[in-house]
Amino acid sequence: MDAIKAARELGRAIQNDERYKDYAAAKEANDNDEALQQLIGEFNLKRENLQLEVNKPEDKQDEAKIQKFNKELQESYERVMTNPHMADFAIKKNALDSL
């Protein structure tokens, strides 16, 4: 058996595993959750704002802005991770990763 054929068989076996099926269903639920997608978008925007400020030369950085952006980012992350679909997705992803 060649490596390509073995890899394909492994891929099919993984896709038939219940952990993969659960992961795929949870991912689809995340993708279809408009409120969650909005939260993720807000999180990414806050992360970009923080990154822009941190990437400035040190003499141009505003420490108050950095702290504010960091706090907002943490709060946004908590909202994303406490979304029921995201919480379920994290559990399913961990199960798949352990495969």
Element (H, E) at 5: helix 3-16
Per-residue pLDDT at 99: 87
Per-residue pLDDT at 22: 97
Whole-number Å distance between alpha carbons of 63 and 60: 9
Q: Is 17 helix (H, G, I), strand (E, B) or coil?
A: coil
Q: Mind listing the pLDDT tens digit of every residue in the chain (99 residues)?
A: 699 999 999 999 999 999 999 999 999 999 999 999 999 999 999 999 999 999 999 999 999 999 999 999 999 999 999 999 999 999 999 999 998
Per-residue pLDDT at 72: 96
Cα-Cα end-to-end distance for the chain: 23
Cα angle 92, 93, 94; round to 5: 90
